[in-house]
Structure 1
Amino acid sequence: MRFASASLVVLATFTASVFAQNTKPLPYMNPALSTQQRVDDLVSRMTLDEKVSQMVNASPAIPRLGIPAYDWWSEGLHGIARSGYATMFPQAIGMAATWNAPMLGQIGTTISTEARAKYNEAIRHDIHSIYYGLTIWSPNINIFRDPRWGRGQETYGEDPYLTGQLGVSFVKGLQGTDPNYFKVIATPKHFAVHSGPESTRHSANVEPTQHDLWDTYLPAFRAAVTEGHADSIMCAYNAVDHSPACANEELLQHILRDDWKFKGFVTSDCGAIDDFYMSTAHHLFPDAESASAAGVKAGTDTSCVSTYLALTDAVKKGLVAEADIDLSVKRLFMARYQLGLFDSPAKVVYDAIPFSVVNSPAHQELALEVARQSMVLLKNDESMLPLRAGIKTIAVVGPNAATLAAIEGNYNAIPLNPVLPVDGIVAEFKGAKVLYAQGSPYADGVALPVPRTILHPDKNSTVEGLKGEYFATNSFEGKPVLTRIDKQIDFDWNSAKPTPEIPADAFAVRWTGTIAMPDAGKYDFSLQIPECRPCHEEERFAVYFDEKPVAGFAPASAEYQPSGTPHFTLTIPDTKRHNIRVEYLHKAPLFNAGITLEWSPKESALQKDAVAAAQKADVVLAFVGLSPLLEGEEMPIHVEGFAGGDRTDIQLPAAQQQMLEAVAATGKPLVVVLMNGSALAVNWANEHANAILEAWYPGQAGARAIAETLDGKNNPGGRLPVTFYASLDQLPAFDNYAMANRTYRYFKGAPLYGFGYGLSYTTFAYSNLKLSTNTLHAGDSLTVEADIKNTGTRAGDEVAELYLLPPQTTVSPIQELNGFQRLHLAPGESRHVSFTLDPRTLSQVDEKGTRAVSAGSYVVFVGGSQPTPQTISAQFSITGTEELPR
């Protein structure tokens, strides 16, 4: 059944009243007029207060004009986030590791389809909330210049060309192909020159050289606007050349609108306008009125959070003209009209997308294929992988083997029935016995979920986990609608139903069973609730140990009322099974739900269990790395190796390193599976492990993709989108934005694993490199062709990488990626590839930031990695010079 779009729900009553008075439809309601005419008419009818009200992310309804409420803030980095179940793809850095631009388009198309489906369903229920709109604040196309940045996981890596190509494809997939309406509107971010540190992002001033600005920091944004036609941009927190990015006329007016002809709207990052005047941030303006005026005059059209409500007073004080307000409001309503929100559903094909497409079988299959293609094989001594047939016992150890966060990443969709890595191994290797041990914490002092191995439904059961009873109201009265065994308490139910039988906004869950510690002594526990800052007044949870209450959270009348997330310590005298009960009551419409029971165990006890499992096994699979609870956006964490969301070291944390060495000492073959959002200096593993597989934060199908890769059903073909350095000693200071000695383009040292690196279970050979000409004039294009053959015995994917070595100047990159194609080849199959290098691809940026095609001698390389002495290459020359537009 078709249903009305958002505006028509509100407009219906308004329209009826218009016709009741026998008046003509107002111009802004007349689809026969141009969109610009309709927008101009609508804005002309709005009061100053009404216009200003539309310039914050949570824009209220204006009933007298038939304008419904709309929230501009929705997330779709690797799946529609924070609005119930949706297809969850690998984290963006994992998507980038596929080196498959067309696939990024498919992902964008899937995400926008689910966004429309969720929007249509929300409007059907009169929901106009945050995270249910059609303006998607993705992709993050900042350049991942330093592996310490916690948000680098959200990006497509360190290379401007790779980032630009993937970003364009993703943006196009999001915005759709309809000639009249956007499917959704993409919002590339954070414009510009933004990549940490998180601790200073609100106050930092970055002064890039003109070369670095135009050579590294702006090309992907330019591509997203001029090629991808993104209709929105998010400006960054930091200042650029002493002007906050969201009040930076050079960025927002001269470059974005004048040079790149951007016609869409600009949104601020959340709280970025406040940073203009806050004493702890840029502190360049005295108050919200002057800060807001500066943002609008520079070209920031809407603020995330309510700061722009100060614009009414700013106009009255003469700080900004009402005409400037009109310009921003018109841009915002152009977007809403172009989304079809004020037109008949009969005209807007996307209004017919049903909710049933969300996480459909086709979308699930795409998530699996993306996860498969994201796998990067870093080491494989003596063909350790695929694991040989007939393995009887597999030890699965490590903190990432059974942690939900490790498959999710950040800014994630909510996965339905998520499968954790250890369970993926169990499902794939059906003929083997799988022994699981948590092995180590992520780092000393960092909590992680209480493992299934110490939980049982009762004192005599051999089953792992606790009995979960699910109630359809936020009380434990009556009978549960579902009873099951949950292997651990580690759930993400953000605006989602824990089970189909109960509502998302009000439910209760009670887990009961036993817990047995590995050793007697004191243990620290905690309960984590997603985004519980603060908890809703009706959000309650409690823990009982041997029937005695030990922790909880409830309204003020309740007995247990610690502030924030509860932490509690238990002194347990033995290793016997003790009764445990955890109760969780949730009541909050459209608010986050979920719960994780965590502990901070003794490292020695966990390591002992991992060694015991390894001693009994034929092979050890160690799931180690990082966690989005350690690396991410401005996080309140400060432990060894991590600070505020960023990293202070790139080594594998000591606790995990010690576990690896301990299990390796058993003499059993060791396969390391890395799960992380940024590069790790795994030097010891590179020297001692038999194989290393990089799996990133791999999404809802990641566990299966990992298992299929380990057993050979999936032949890994992913490539690193970032450099894996050997140590921090190889890098400049984190807060130094100069690109000298950063990324593969300027790094002069020897990395642990290079950008573009990745192994396969088969082999490939390149031949017959041909150029369309050996001499071309500046401004002409060059065609490069080559043949690729699978010379091995397995079918597999190869990524053909084209690198250009330009004439060297004092600021030239050592080499740069200028083309790539991912191909699937059967054993013995050959394929012909062709690359077209246009003038911009052949150009360089000089010290002054001028981009031009320059005369000189060039070398082009085509192969499966960065150039080596064995890579096929050809020389050509360019005559003349041609300067290119900014």
Structure 2
Amino acid sequence: MKMIAGRRAALTQESALKDTTTMVGSVYDDAVRAVRAGELTADEAANQLIDLMTDGEILGLLDGDSPRLLLPLIPILLDRVPFVAGAVARLGIPGIRFSDGGRGVVIGASTAFPVTIARAATWDPSLEERVGIAIGVETRARGANYSASVCVNLLRHPGWGRAQECYGEDPVLTGRMGSALTRGVRMHVMACVKHFALNSMENERFEVDVAVDEHSLHEVYLPHFKAVVDAGADSVMSSYNRVRGEYMDVNRALLTDVLRHEWGFSGFVTSDWVFGTHDAVVSLEAGMDVEMPLRLLRARELPAALRDRGLARATVLQSARRILRTCVQHAATREPAAPTRGVIASPAHRALAHEVATESIVLLKNEAVGAAPLLPLAPATRHLAVIGRLAARANLGDHGSSRVRPPSTVSPLQGLREALPNVRITTTNGRNERRAASLAAAAETAIVVVGLDQHDEGESVVTGGVDVGVLGREFRSGPLRRVLIGLAHLASRFVRGGDRSSLNLRPSDERLIHAVIAANPRTVVVLISGSAILTETWRDRVPALLLAWYGGMEGGRALASVLTGSEDPGGRLPFVLPTDVAHLPFFDSAAKSVVYDDQWGQRRLDAMGHTPAFPFGFGLGYTTIEHRLLHHTFDNTGGHADVLVTNTGDRKGSTVVQIYAADVSLRRPVAQLLGFRKVTLQPGAENSVRIGLDAGPTLQRDPTTRCWSSRAGEWALLASQHSPVSWENAVHVRRTKGLIDEAGTSAGQQA
């Protein structure tokens, strides 16, 4: 305590002289050193810092430091410098120094990893934690201390434009992968999880009102957020949308009652940017601590509200304390010296990007053409035709706030040329279907690369439904407001991204596939996208089909390694691929209100009795792997399952063993993922693996007591390599009537 208190006299004199220069060996640095040495708690350090601050400096913690005039420059500055909030130069407080980073650091030329949903397809939390470490260290090397890299919004419908930024449709998979990224990022910078909550449509994200019942809210759309909070997330970003009629920045029921009181979150909450704050005072009282990234509503309204007692001083100090406590605690537990910029896009990070891309690629079909499956490509191949408008492009994903600009990229065509230097490769973009068919017919094998890009899906940077009143009083009514909203609506028709208008490929891509397959039956189709693509009009004619996502800067090399067989395709679907869009929840990208229930994705198909094109968790490899459930323990706190996994093929390969539960008393049991583990085995090898189980999907929450108990039903458990189609060989777990459980058997196997 003496380390901070000893500076009081000097600071008092400096304040009198209105000196705003940064002190060498600042008070903030002393506070961090005291916490690191165990002389102060982070709470005590935060309180002492607040005691030394003026009211203006304290209020300055609660919004961004940049003036509102910088609003048009945000897209330009976002990839150049960290955005700062709450810096106090007089005390050496660095503030929150923000960088986005869902697939890599957006500042400068940084490592571009595969998009989040591609990394979800790896089903490998340990690999995702390594990605988090790399993103964290590059973030800090760019001068930031805070990364909004963890997006865990659930994929309710694949038409969502920002599906590529999430971990798919399942709460358990999302929670485990998001927690892993959080642990990795936090090794170097503060980790922010977003967008809290129920944000899963893009075009009307500023206005849409989500109605949701208690069951769906707490048992479907929030568990993965809680998992990431439990993993140590330092901060939460609130979403733009409304939930039950209230914008999220003023939604006390979620920001305080659930997030803080029920879950025990002690970090700070920031708004989504610019249009995510609707009331300066009410948002602070509701639990939203920082308005990002500019001096907008709060800079104009909080000083007078505090002076006139329309805002309680205790409310201001509560948020100030959360912010400073979190920043000090984080700084005290990290190495003082920042890494050099040599870590950015380093060989090690490029190698990691390649590994992740390889592990994410999902092999959906691999039928025999002649004596053997079409993939991997035969070693004797001498002539390939690589066709499609995306074959020669470095297609990294949308061009919104998560865009990464790596120092180099590798397209599928370049990757294949590097991997097969002695093979003749002919290519065309496919616009001329006759030429494409001619090239395909002349080659031994044709590879068609089609799919989506930033024009088809992504963040909608300009959207019509924004509250321009945050820009100032002159925009709250009158001609300026009407003109600006009109311009926004007009611009929204021409910008990239947004929600998808169709789950099919472009008609030109579908025509190209038909033309090529008619010319050469040895055709491989590679899909590039950020979520599901319907394949029904052409899937049955194609012998080999892969989903390669937006694969990052090394995506082309990773794809080549899978096609040639130097690596096994390691990906498994993080969502279901249906045969018909009607099997999914209704999706209206222009909706102003929507109802979210517990019927979505694979669960909806299960409940309705629809067979998918490819089920949740599905993916093929180049070997054959079998598994057998040995024994398990499971109750309302979770448990584990031991599974014997055997590689019965003739080459090294991997699988993802998945444990599901379902109420088998239902006519159509609905599979609930409880746990999973990725396993890699040499040919002929076997291994017993233990898989941790999450009881959450089998529990229900009492909205009155907020207590969790067993969900009624006859619950059974099954080990599988994708979402099960049959429960005949499942192991009985428990029979629940009301709150009374009857224990089931503890051993068994899946056929």
Q: TM tier, shorter chain?
A: 0.7 to 0.9
Which residue identity lines up with residue 306 of structure 1 in the other structure? R
Tell me which structure has the larger Cα radius of gyration: 1
SS at match of 1:199: coil
State whether residues 91 and 154 of structure 1, in contact with CA within 8 Å, keep that contact through their aligned partners in structure 2.
yes
Counterpart for residue 624 of structure 2: 763
Residue 639 of structure 1: CA displacement? 12
> Which of 133, 154, 159 is the aligned partner of 1:143?
154
Q: Which amino acid aligns with 2:162?
A: R
Correspondence 1:364-443 to 2 at 5 A: 364-382=350-368, 383-406=373-396, 411-440=402-431
Counterpart of 1:185 (choices 175, 182, 190) is 190
Q: 1:620 aligns with which of 419, 422, 446?
A: 446
1:589 alignment counterpart: none
Contact 2:674 2:694 in 1 (8 A): no
Residues 267-311 of structure 1: CA distance to partner in whole angstroms, max 9, x if unpaired? 00012345x3xxxxxxxxxxxxxx111111101111113222122
Residue 351 (structure 1) aligns with = 337
Secondary structure of the 2:458 match is: coil
The 8 Å contact of residues 807 and 856 in structure 1, kept in 2 or not, is answered as yes
* Structure 2 counterparts to residues 569-608 of structure 1, below 5 A: 606-608=432-434
Aligned match of 1:50: 57
User: Equivalents in 2 of 1:667, 1:770: separation in Å?
Assistant: 49
Amino acid at match of 1:51: I
Displacement of 1:813: 7.3
Bigger CA drift: 187-196 or 401-410?
A: 401-410
Could you say what secondary structure the match of 2:386 adopts?
strand
SS in 2 for 1:646: coil
CA drift of 1:321 comes to 2.1
| Distance (whole Å) between structure 1 residues aligned to residue 13 and residue 55 of structure 2 | 26
| Cα distance change of structure 1 residues 360 and 882 upon mapping to structure 2, 3 Å threshold | farther
Q: Is the 8 A contact 1:396 1:437 kept in 2?
A: yes
Cα distance in structure 2, aligned partners of 1:712 and 1:208:
47
Q: Deviations over 1:721-754 (max 9, x none)?
A: 0111223222332154433542112322222211
CA distance in 1, matches of 2:703, 2:260: 24
Change (3 A) 1:661 1:845: farther
Structure 1 residue 339: deviation in Å?
3.1
How big is the shift at 1:45? 2.8
Alpha-carbon distance in 2 for matches of 1:27, 1:784:
48
* Residue 194 (str. 1) matches residue 199 (str. 2): yes
Question: Quick one: structure 1 residues 641 and 718, their matched pair in 2 at CA, closer, same or farther if it must change by over 3 Å?
Answer: farther
SS at match of 1:752: coil
Contact 1:408 1:698 (C-alpha < 8 Å) held by counterparts: no
Partner of 1:93: 117
Aligned-pair distance for 1:880? 7.7
C-alpha distance in 2 between matches for 1:185 and 1:815: 35
Q: Is residue 739 of structure 1 aligned with residue 597 of structure 2? A: yes
Report the alpha carbon displacement of residue 408 of structure 1 after superposing the two structures with TM.
7.5
| Match for residue 170 of structure 2 among 152, 155, 159 | 159
Structure 2 distance, partners of 1:59, 1:422, is: 44
Give the 3 Å change call, closer, same or farther, for CA 34–781 of structure 1 in structure 2: closer
Deviates further, 826-835 or 404-413: 404-413
- Aligned pair 1:248/2:251, yes or no? yes
Q: Paired residue for 1:209, among 213, 232, 253?
A: 213
> What are the equivalent positions in structure 2 for 1:625-774 lying under 5 Å apart?
625-635=451-461, 645-735=498-588, 736-739=594-597, 741-747=599-605, 748=608, 749-772=610-633
Q: Does 1:134 find its partner at 2:141? A: no
Listed one character per residue, the Cα deviations across residues 693-748 of structure 1 (whole Å, up to 9, x for unaligned) are 10000111111110011111111121000111223222332154433542112322
Moved more, 622-631 or 30-39: 30-39
Contact kept? 2:714, 2:734, Cα under 8 Å: yes
Identity %: 31
Q: 2:398 touches 2:457 (CA, 8 Å); kept in 1? A: no
> 1:91 & 1:745 partners in 2: Cα distance?
24
2:684 is equivalent to residue 831 of structure 1:
no
Describe the superposition over 1:40-96 as per-residue Cα deviations: whole angstroms up to 9, x where unpaired: 12223323322222222333653433334x454211212112x12222211000000
- Say which of 299, 303, 307 aligns to 2:291: 303
Q: Which residue pairs with 1:112 in the alignment? A: 136
Q: Which segments of 5 or more consecutive residues in structure 1 lack a partner in the other structure? A: 1-6, 120-132, 177-182, 277-290, 441-605
Could you tell me which residue of structure 1 aligns to residue 91 of structure 2?
A: 65
State the Cα distance separating 1:424 from its structure 2 match: 0.5
Q: Secondary structure at the match of 2:631?
A: strand
SS of residue matched to 1:710: helix
Q: Provide the residue aligned with 1:362 in structure 2.
A: 348
| Equivalent residues of 2:362, 2:569 under 8 A apart | yes
- Whole-Å separation in 1 of the counterparts to 2:560 and 2:26: 61
Given that residues 378 and 692 in structure 1 are in contact (C-alpha distance below 8 angstroms), is that contact kept between their aligned partners in structure 2? yes
Q: Is the 8 A contact 1:54 1:329 kept in 2?
A: yes
Q: Please tell me the residue identity of whatever aligns with 2:138.
A: E
Deviation track 1:141-182 (CA, whole Å, cap 9, x = no partner) reads 000010100101100000001001111111111112xxxxxx
* C-alpha contact 1:80 1:87 (8 A) present in aligned 2: yes
Change (3 A) 1:437 1:333: same
Q: Aligned-pair distance for 1:417? A: 2.2
Looking at structure 2, the residues matched to 740 and 751 of structure 1 have their Cα atoms a distance apart, in angstroms, of 18
Cα distance 1:364–1:815, how it changes in 2: closer, same or farther (>3 A)? Answer: same
Q: Which whole-Å CA distance do the structure 2 matches of 1:699 and 1:867 have between them?
A: 31
Q: Residue 488 of structure 2 aligns with which residue?
A: none
Structure 1 counterpart of 2:99:
74
2:676 equivalent to 1:784:
no
User: 1:434, 1:223 → 2: CA distance?
Assistant: 48
Per the alignment, residue 511 of structure 1 pairs with none
Give the secondary structure class of the aligned counterpart of 1:866: coil
> Are residues 1:865 and 2:691 paired?
no
Instruction: Give how far 1:15 is off.
Output: 12
Q: Deviations over 1:592-638 (max 9, x none)?
A: xxxxxxxxxxxxxx334423422332211111111123201115699
Which AA in structure 1 matches 2:528? M
Contact 2:438-2:519 within 8 A present in 1 as well: no
Distance in 1, matches of 2:26 and 2:345, equals 40
Partner of 1:814: 670
Q: CA deviation at 1:796?
A: 0.3
Cα drift, residue 258 of structure 1:
0.2
Aligned amino acid, residue 160 of structure 2: W
Q: Could you say if the C-alpha distance between residues 14 and 824 of structure 1 is closer, same or farther in structure 2, counting changes exceeding 3 Å?
A: farther
Q: Decide whether the 8 Å contact of 2:27 with 2:92 is kept in 1.
A: no
1:799 aligns with 2:649: no
- The CA distance in 2 between the partners of 1:59 and 1:785, in whole Å, is 48
Secondary structure, counterpart of 1:785 in structure 2: strand
CA RMSD, 1 decimal: 3.3
CA 1:867–1:25: 2 relative to 1, 3 Å: closer
Contact 2:675 2:694 in 1 (8 A): no
Unaligned runs of 5+ in 2: 20-24, 65-83, 464-490, 589-593, 742-751
- In structure 1, give the amino acid aligned to 2:450: V
Who is 1:126 aligned against?
Answer: none
Cα deviation for residue 224 of structure 1 reads 0.8
Mapped to 1, the partners of 2:165 and 2:616 lie a distance apart of 17
The amino acid across from 1:38 in the alignment is: A
Inter-partner Cα distance in structure 2 for 1:402 and 1:873: 47
More off after superposition, 701-710 vs 431-440: 431-440
- Give, in angstroms, the shift of residue 238 of structure 1: 0.7
Aligned to 1:149, what secondary structure does the other structure show?
coil
Matching residue's letter, 1:819: G
Amino acid at match of 1:786: V
Q: Deviations over 1:243-278 (max 9, x none)?
A: 11111011011000000010000000012345x3xx
